[in-house]
Structure 1
């Protein structure tokens, strides 16, 4: 099977990639550096991570990388990123196109795919307004309620999961000096999670609390010396959070931070109802930290009595965290069981086998 997997980059990650790949002068070298950094690796299929000769991977929105490929192929002028992606697919003689960035490349793109492509699938685990993905053979995701919403729009939708990255086994086997880690976005629009983060931040005086937050440029400006004089209060984070906030982390840097943490705090946003199991859950458990997350419907292996801890409210979260830290010698066994479950139930081999099975059913 000639597989082509396309993904995309967070704007906040691009600065890290540009620094890591500052000396990369070819498409292959920049791509190698990206894949070795493991950003998004839980979504990348086994042939891609194994370097199979029949698998091709790119980030279609990485203009630097894509234009390196276009120049190496002597494509004249300045083609659009969409044109470069189509040229890559044709050059690779792709049979199966798997797209992690379908909002950028929706149905109108699928209809332009060359004739060599037999199946096109995409991953989308978030509500997406009026986006049209009906031209894809299937929309994949791990939130049943969101899959149902895609079905209501005329798409075929199938359950699929992130997978344990084997490199996670290198992390989290020593001391864990960080008591509680949170990595992700912060927005006052996500009121329940924002309140929980503010409450947990108050533990900083007695516990080692680390928040790595992806803040907007407006938030950064609002919290600056100049911004403090302007009417931007709604864009500032609470003092307890701003005081301990660090820049966002990704890839191997994230693995290392999780591996140094006892607890990884997670909180769903108003996106998938009671469905739970975002990528942070898989990353936290895969690197051996205890996942403390809000109550809801979790996938197999994420069991509140055996492998994770859950909370009902911000106040309840504080109690749960203190109980876990005060009884860490016992609780760390729960974290270990969680690590084993994620490794066994969501291996790259099982993810790839499920992908092949889905293809057979299309």
Structure 2
């Protein structure tokens, strides 16, 4: 039996972390009274984070399992249904799930919450451990993982300097994206993402584009930080929090965040999807929004930097170097949409091939075989 087939036969356990805003969204999708299986299935159907989920999970392979380790409601449903004490911690529940599943390969998408101290408590059935981390993580200790995966080379190198094994890996296009973006695209520019003190460069670009809202259809779906929400509240306006408030041009058009299939639908209605790295990302680029935009057929317009293979300026996407150049790119694209639309179409075709779930899974197997 070759290494690839042997790995496929192993029992794979993925753990993901949900953002607070997404948990609120999932709670709206799943009323109280649901079973663990019902909430779990609703989450999978919604596709949040699906670009990171490996093929056996997506295919519902009986040897694969996906947990949402920080989703209190879902995890406690599993705990009650499997006889765990009500006072069990989320870490204890996750460990129980891994043991119940008889996991051999653990792939953790939330390693800062479950770092080396968690890995050292894993049951003996777990043979290999990997995690995904493509962002600076302070003093987080991930050295107990067999490999830290990510698609930002500079951040991978920083993990190596901390004593971690590190391997290049990437998101993959969600196959259901093929169903989106084949009709009219009434939205000229879409931005979906966070807005906080870590986004100063991004905020400048967003403000420049927002002033075009009087003549273009611009949609911003912003997940504002808790401090920004406080600063913009009635009470917050009485406090010295001016620097945390969004500029009027942005606040005027801001909508609540969207997730999962709602995000796919919105991208599918947009000509241009605007993207910008967070201030801590360094020179590397290729966050999940890049793959979501291209996968749903929109034209990705993102800031200059070092992108993964296949994401090429003027071929599968467009880039900008400043807020002013971003405005110029948008005006150029919309005045010549018939000419630049082909870039979006080429991006969807080429990136869909290069970053398919099959290729992602093959690369994962190769990495595991080397551990």
Assess same fold via TM > 0.5.
yes
Using the TM superposition, name which of 217-226 and 29-38 deviates more: 217-226
2:203 to 188, 191, 194: 194
1:94 to 81, 91, 103: 103
> Does structure 2 retain, via aligned residues, the 8 Å contact 1:184–1:212?
yes
Kindly indicate whether residue 167 of structure 2 is the aligned counterpart of residue 158 of structure 1: yes
Aligned mates of 2:190, 2:363 — CA distance in 1: 32
Kindly indicate whether residue 149 of structure 2 is the aligned counterpart of residue 140 of structure 1: yes
Kindly indicate whether residue 47 of structure 2 is the aligned counterpart of residue 38 of structure 1: yes
SS of residue paired to 1:271: helix
1:209 to 218, 231, 234: 218
State the partner residue of 1:241. Answer: 250
Kindly indicate whether residue 67 of structure 2 is the aligned counterpart of residue 52 of structure 1: no
> Does structure 1 retain, via aligned residues, the 8 Å contact 2:272–2:299?
yes
Unaligned 5+ runs, structure 1: none
2:323 to 303, 306, 314: 314
The CA deviation string for residues 245-291 of structure 1, in whole angstroms up to 9 with x for no partner, is 00011100000000000000011122232111010000000000000
Aligned mates of 1:107, 1:38 — CA distance in 2: 28
State the partner residue of 2:38. Answer: 29
TM-score for both structures, normalised by structure 2: 0.96
What CA RMSD, in Å, does the superposition of the two structures yield over aligned residues? 1.1
How far the C-alpha of 1:18 sits from its partner, in A, is 0.6
1:224 to 233, 243, 251: 233
How far the C-alpha of 1:230 sits from its partner, in A, is 3.1
SS of residue paired to 1:243: helix
SS of residue paired to 1:51: coil
Using the TM superposition, name which of 19-28 and 90-99 deviates more: 19-28
Aligned mates of 1:345, 1:36 — CA distance in 2: 24
How far the C-alpha of 1:191 sits from its partner, in A, is 2.5
Aligned mates of 1:342, 1:104 — CA distance in 2: 31
Kindly indicate whether residue 270 of structure 2 is the aligned counterpart of residue 261 of structure 1: yes
Kindly indicate whether residue 365 of structure 2 is the aligned counterpart of residue 356 of structure 1: yes
Aligned mates of 1:169, 1:342 — CA distance in 2: 12
> Does structure 2 retain, via aligned residues, the 8 Å contact 1:188–1:194?
no
Kindly indicate whether residue 125 of structure 2 is the aligned counterpart of residue 125 of structure 1: no
Aligned mates of 1:220, 1:282 — CA distance in 2: 29
Q: How many residues align?
A: 362
SS of residue paired to 1:85: helix
Kindly indicate whether residue 339 of structure 2 is the aligned counterpart of residue 303 of structure 1: no
1:334 to 340, 343, 355: 343
Aligned mates of 2:67, 2:199 — CA distance in 1: 32
Kindly indicate whether residue 112 of structure 2 is the aligned counterpart of residue 103 of structure 1: yes
1:276 to 285, 310, 319: 285
Unaligned 5+ runs, structure 2: 1-9
Aligned mates of 2:78, 2:144 — CA distance in 1: 27
> Does structure 2 retain, via aligned residues, the 8 Å contact 1:264–1:291?
yes
State the partner residue of 2:183. Answer: 174
